[in-house]
């Protein structure tokens, strides 16, 4: 905000002089600067639980499994996401799909949120747009086991 390092003329390093050696003028300058910050009263802090910052577009939070228009999960258990996942946090067990338009569906779909690095590569790899990252990031749990999300949890996310 207006702090351009090149805007000020370059000062030659030289002798400080008596006034500079006495520190006091420089100290007074510094004190005025910090007083300016008090007076400006422009705080960067948010009162977090009360005020929340709107997430940036493209924020990568926890995952969600999407459903199609008939309410079925879109996932066809192709294992693309678990293959591409650099943290190996996606565990899929496939079963035969009861529907004619696809061969497989996931029987188990677990994501270990404690291992996930929220890189979003699963979302990129998915051919059916079945998995995507939401903007949710602040779900606390009491045990590590609760942070391993199963299929139902991911579908409801």
Chain residues in the site for another protein (CB under 8 A): 21-24, 27, 30-31, 33-35, 37-38, 40-45, 47
Q: What are the E-state strand segments in the chain?
A: 63-65, 90-96, 104-112, 131-133, 148-149
Name the residue nearer to another protein (CB basis): 11 or 43. Answer: 43
Name the residue nearer to another protein (CB basis): 43 or 53. Answer: 43
Within 8 A by CB and 6+ apart from 1, the residues are none
* 138/106 Cα distance (integer angstroms): 27
Name the residue nearer to another protein (CB basis): 30 or 127. Answer: 30
* 86/116 Cα distance (integer angstroms): 9
Q: Residue 34 CB, nearest distance to another protein (Å)?
A: 4
Whether residue 74 contacts residue 129, with contact meaning beta carbons closer than 8 Å, is answered with yes
Q: Residue 42 CB, nearest distance to another protein (Å)?
A: 6
Q: Residue 2 CB, nearest distance to another protein (Å)?
A: 15
Q: Which two tokens stand for residue 132?
A: 């995507």
Match 């577009």 to its residue by tokens.
57
* 125/73 Cα distance (integer angstroms): 17
Q: Residue 59 CB, nearest distance to another protein (Å)?
A: 24
Name the residue nearer to another protein (CB basis): 37 or 115. Answer: 37
Name the residue nearer to another protein (CB basis): 44 or 70. Answer: 44
Q: Residue 138 CB, nearest distance to another protein (Å)?
A: 18
């Amino acid at each position: 905000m207006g702090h351009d390092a090149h805007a000020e003329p370059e000062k030659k390093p030289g002798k400080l002089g008596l006034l500079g050696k006495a520190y006091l003028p420089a100290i007074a300058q510094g004190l005025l600067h910090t007083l300016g910050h008090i007076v400006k009263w422009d705080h960067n802090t948010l009162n977090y639980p009360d005020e929340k910052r709107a997430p940036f577009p493209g924020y990568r939070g926890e995952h969600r499994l999407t459903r199609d228009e008939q309410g079925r999960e879109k996932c066809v258990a192709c294992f693309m996401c678990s293959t591409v996942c650099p943290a190996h946090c996606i565990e899929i067990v496939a079963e035969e799909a009861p529907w004619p338009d696809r061969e497989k569906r996931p029987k188990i779909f677990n994501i270990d949120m404690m291992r996930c690095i929220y890189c979003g590569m699963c979302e990129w790899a998915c051919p059916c747009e079945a998995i995507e990252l939401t903007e949710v990031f602040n779900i606390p749990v009491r045990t590590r086991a609760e942070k391993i999300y199963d299929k139902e949890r991911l579908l409801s996310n």
